[in-house]
Structure 1
């Protein structure tokens, strides 16, 4: 692994560690969050998931993670591949999620586009392979926006 790949993997590892630590402590620990995410972080979750929308800043990022924690008992990433430059990080992996209520497991491809500023993640856009499968397992029915 070259130094560019090592830098990407280090940031990804710290990003997922910050999320897990926050969820495991019910939001009591956010030191790791601030070491990875820019204060103006914005996460763009897909429109039809139960935690859809744009989540801005540390407080909303914590709320996003808390909301996700209500739905998922655990999350695991494997087969991580990434590339990085000074401004962007692109991540691809296999994501496994365990639904909190049913214990059902979803395993699917996952990608994320991360924009960086001063070495911190300032914008994140996740791409789930099959949001319909996620909603089926969570028994979540998305509300359609008025198309008129």
Structure 2
């Protein structure tokens, strides 16, 4: 039935939870960036999205998805297929390692979103975006291409 009414699970998910932003548009160009210099672009992209007028919808989406087992499961699948796969495109390494690196990048990005925009812990919540990029991008880059030990 999903394929009868929708192009696939991603479209079903988008309709069922009303995504506030299209991951393909938001992450345009990330997959083409040099993996050794991709972290800054990722962090800037996330901050630009969350500092945009879409912030209220993003907050509502995040809160609503976390509170529902079904929506959380759909969110997990969508994040793996449409977000992490784009962020990790062309990152060298065995598939298991690349998947782990993608999960580690997600810990930093989701943690940043939660602390800065949901919990609003200071001084991170009011730090300038350029300062946040300087503070966070190094860790994201290590998870992308640096040593994992």
Note whether the superposition's TM-score is higher than 0.5.
Answer: no
The structure where helix makes up a greater share of residues is 2
TM-score tier (shorter): under 0.3
Higher relative contact order (CA 8 A, sep 6+): 2
TM-score (norm 1): 0.24
